[in-house]
């Protein structure tokens, strides 16, 4: 796709205390071009798009939009210049309805009734049907993203920025999204696309700019290179795919039968008759779009939600009625998805956070007193082994970037050497190199005889490390199937809940 330059960024730089987020970044996007922005966590992609969207002001450098100087003081100015953005973490309000959410993202919204009509019209025109009167809290992740996209489309943007749009979508939803984006590009809208998923970028994008540590390290045409080459340019090193030891599976370590619990939160999903078993040395991957009961399943396994004694069994012994610390003693460690506030206490230091989860298995308390010496050693081990980038273990968890905190949380659980480890979204927001490392450590745990349950939305991740795959959909778990020979289409159907569910139910009824 050729054409005139729409946006050119020239020598832009931005520093934060102690960090050079962007350093002399230059690139250009043509009209109607789908342009990818690639880079690891902390490479400066988010800062860069925030500058384009007017949320952050650059220290040096300039931007040109359609040949004119462009320096938005705030998002409103960016929007009026024709720049729209869909955020990585949705900027939606759960207690408001779709039309109200759309209105909030517009500068001069028409009256509500007219707006509802236009939402219907535009959303159907792009194959993204939406009901304007529904509460956003009741929508699925895919539908929520539609709200964001429709909100942008209503302002007929010239440049459309998407920050990690596919991380919460099923393969089928990704297909729909890509069709919409191609349609937009064909109509002359430029798209700036940020993603970790390199295969998607190869399928969608016309050009790519690669950032590393705040600098542009290359630009390329994604269709001409392999995903592996792109990843290596991003990281600046050779990547090794996780190695899987030949599976030696032992007896069943974790068995869950007939697990039905109501969700503790108003917008959550209740679990309905979930059952599975995991053997020693086995990795079970549980796929599904977020909000289908993942958080509840993890809570039921970690002990935050208590159930009947025999619903959750470890080595044939019922533990469903005991809390997290007793379960840790029995060898179960868990890492929830929400890093701040669930997996880690935001305002406490890494050392204190290490103690909170590790005190039982690492014997960090003695007669009611804290063994700070041991705690320090444990926290330092986690930071060192998992390459957590932090000034020190006295730093508050809140101060770490998402990817770094994720490494810390995963490291803390894995280094407790659990016999059963359950993780939810283990590599969410983590860059390629760190993700590969985390997956490798999970596989190592399995090789050492632990039962591993990986709950993830990332199908590639599950295919890479899991032995068996099950889909969680609206609180129901499908029958686990071996990952070998499973195609992406079959997985998509399982995630959509169209297939496997009835068989699974029949199985449980018979069991």
Partner 1 sequence: MEIFGINIAVLIASLMVASVPIMLAAIGELVVEKAGVLNLGVEGMMIMGAICGFITAVHTGSPMVGFLGGAAGAMALSLVFILLTQVFLANQVATGLALTLFGLGLSSLLGQGYNGIKPPRLGDVPFGPLENIPFFGRVLFTHDIMVYASIAIVAAVWAVLKYSRAGLILRAVGESHDAAHALGYKVVRIRILAILFGAAMAGLGGAYVSLVRVPQWTDGITAGAGWIALAIVVFASWKPWRVLIGAYLFGGITVLQLNLQAAGARIPVEYLSMSPYLITILVLVIMSSGRGRASLNAPAALGQNFHASR
Tokens of 223: 């269709």
Which of 87, 126, 378, 386 is the binder for partner 1 (CB under 8 A)? 87
Please give the DSSP secondary-structure letter assigned to residue 285: E
304 binds partner 1 (CB under 8 A): no
Query: Whole-angstrom Cα distance, residue 227 to residue 210?
Result: 13
Stretch that binds partner 1, among 49-57, 165-173, 363-371, 479-487 (CB under 8 A): 49-57
Q: Is position 138 an interface residue for partner 1 (rule: CB under 8 A)?
A: no
Contacts of partner 1 in 9-38 (CB under 8 A):
16
What minimum distance in Å lies between the beta carbon of 92 and partner 1?
A: 6
Q: How far is the CB of 36 from partner 1 (least distance, A)?
A: 22
Report the SS3 class of residue 227: helix
Pick the closer one to partner 1 by CB: 87 or 428. Answer: 87
Q: Does 50 bind partner 1 (CB under 8 A)?
A: yes
- The residue (of 91 and 365) whose beta carbon lies closer to partner 1 is 91
Nearer to partner 1, 129 or 341 (CB): 341
The partner residues of 9 in beta bridges, in order of sequence, read 27, 63
Residue selected from 1, 55, 225, 252 as contacting partner 1 according to rule CB under 8 A: 55
- Compute the least distance from the CB of residue 104 to partner 1, in Å: 5
Rounded-to-integer distance, Cα 446 and Cα 83, Å: 47
Q: Coil, strand, or helix at residue 201? A: helix
| One residue of 100, 143, 330, 474 binding partner 1 per CB under 8 A | 100
Nearer to partner 1, 94 or 273 (CB): 94
CB 308 within 8 A of CB 490: no
User: Counting contacts by CB under 8 A, is residue 131 touching partner 1?
Assistant: no
Quote the CA–CA distance of 280 and 301 in Å, as a whole number: 16
Q: Which is nearer to partner 1, 93 or 372 (CB)?
A: 93
User: How many C-beta atoms surround the C-beta of residue 325 within 10 A?
Assistant: 13
91 touches partner 1 (CB under 8 A) = yes
What does the block give as tokens for 332? 């179960």
Q: Kindly report the number of other CB atoms within 10 A of residue 399's CB atom.
A: 14
- Stretch binding partner 1 (CB under 8 A), from 89-97, 364-372, 376-384, 486-494: 89-97
Give me the least distance between CB of 346 and partner 1, in Å please: 12
Query: Is residue 231 within 8 Å of residue 432, measured between CB atoms?
Result: yes
Residue 117, C-beta contacts closer than 8 angstroms, at least 6 positions apart: none
CA 76 – CA 296 distance, rounded (Å) = 39
Binding test (CB under 8 A) with partner 1, winner from 43, 48, 49, 92: 92
Is 167 a binding residue for partner 1 by CB under 8 A? The answer is no
End-to-end CA distance of the chain: 57
Q: How many CB atoms lie within 10 A of CB 309?
A: 13
Q: Which CB sits closer to partner 1, 248 or 398?
A: 398
Ranges within 248-277 binding partner 1 (CB under 8 A): 266
Applying CB under 8 A, does 74 fall inside the site for partner 1? yes
Q: CB-side exposure of 228: number of CA atoms within 13 Å? A: 4
Q: Give the Cα separation of 71 and 52 in Å (integer).
A: 8
Asked if 417 interacts with partner 1 (CB under 8 A), we say: no
Distance CA 85, CA 151 (A): 9
Which residues sit at the interface with partner 1, rule CB under 8 A? 16, 47, 50, 54-56, 74-76, 79, 87, 89-96, 100, 103-105, 109, 266
């Amino acid at each position: 796709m050729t054409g005139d330059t729409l946006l050119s960024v020239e020598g832009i730089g931005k520093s934060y205390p102690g960090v050079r987020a962007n350093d002399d970044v230059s690139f250009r996007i043509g009209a109607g071009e789908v342009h990818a922005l690639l880079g690891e966590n902390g490479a400066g992609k988010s800062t860069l798009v925030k500058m384009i969207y007017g949320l952050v002001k650059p220290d040096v450098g300039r931007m040109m939009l359609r040949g004119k100087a462009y320096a938005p003081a705030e998002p409103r100015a960016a929007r009026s210049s024709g720049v729209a953005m869909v955020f990585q973490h949705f900027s939606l309000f759960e207690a408001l309805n779709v039309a109200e959410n759309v209105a909030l993202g517009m500068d001069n919204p028409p009256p509500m009734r007219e707006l509802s009509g236009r939402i219907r019209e535009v959303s159907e025109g792009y194959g993204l049907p939406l009901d304007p009167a529904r509460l956003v809290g009741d929508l699925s992740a895919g539908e929520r993203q539609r709200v964001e996209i429709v909100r942008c489309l209503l302002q007929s943007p010239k440049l459309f920025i998407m920050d990690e749009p596919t991380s919460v979508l099923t393969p089928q939803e990704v297909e729909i999204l890509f069709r919409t984006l191609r349609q937009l590009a064909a109509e002359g809208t430029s798209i700036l696309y940020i993603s970790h998923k390199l295969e998607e970028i190869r399928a969608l994008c016309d050009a790519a700019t690669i950032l590393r540590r705040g600098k542009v390290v290359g630009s390329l045409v994604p269709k001409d290179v392999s995903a592996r080459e792109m990843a290596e340019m991003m990281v600046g090193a050779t990547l090794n795919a996780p190695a899987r030891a030949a599976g030696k599976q032992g007896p069943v370590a974790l068995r869950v039968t007939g697990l039905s619990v109501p969700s503790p939160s108003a917008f959550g999903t209740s679990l309905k008759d979930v059952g599975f078993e995991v053997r020693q040395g086995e990795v079970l991957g549980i796929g599904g779009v977020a909000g289908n009961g993942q958080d509840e399943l993890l809570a039921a396994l970690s002990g935050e939600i208590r159930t009947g004694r025999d619903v959750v069994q470890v080595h044939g012994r019922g533990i469903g009625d005991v809390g997290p610390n007793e379960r840790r003693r029995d060898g179960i460690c868990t890492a929830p998805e929400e890093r701040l506030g669930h997996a880690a206490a935001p305002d406490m230091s890494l050392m204190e956070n290490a103690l909170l989860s590790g005190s039982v298995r690492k014997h960090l308390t003695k007669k009611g007193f804290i063994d700070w010496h041991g705690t320090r050693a444990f926290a330092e081990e986690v930071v060192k082994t998992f390459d957590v980038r932090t000034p020190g273990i006295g730093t508050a968890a809140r101060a770490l970037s998402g990817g770094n905190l994720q490494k810390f949380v995963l490291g803390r659980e894995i280094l407790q050497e659990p016999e059963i480890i359950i993780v939810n979204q283990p590599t969410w927001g983590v860059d390629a190199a760190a993700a590969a490392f985390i997956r490798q450590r999970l596989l190592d745990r399995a090789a050492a005889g632990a039962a591993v349950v990986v709950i993830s939305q990332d199908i590639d991740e599950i295919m890479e490390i899991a032995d068996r795959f099950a889909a969680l959909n609206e609180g129901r778990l499908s029958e686990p199937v071996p990952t070998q020979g499973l195609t992406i289409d079959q997985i998509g159907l399982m995630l959509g809940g169209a297939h496997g569910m009835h068989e699974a139910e029949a199985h449980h009824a018979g069991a």
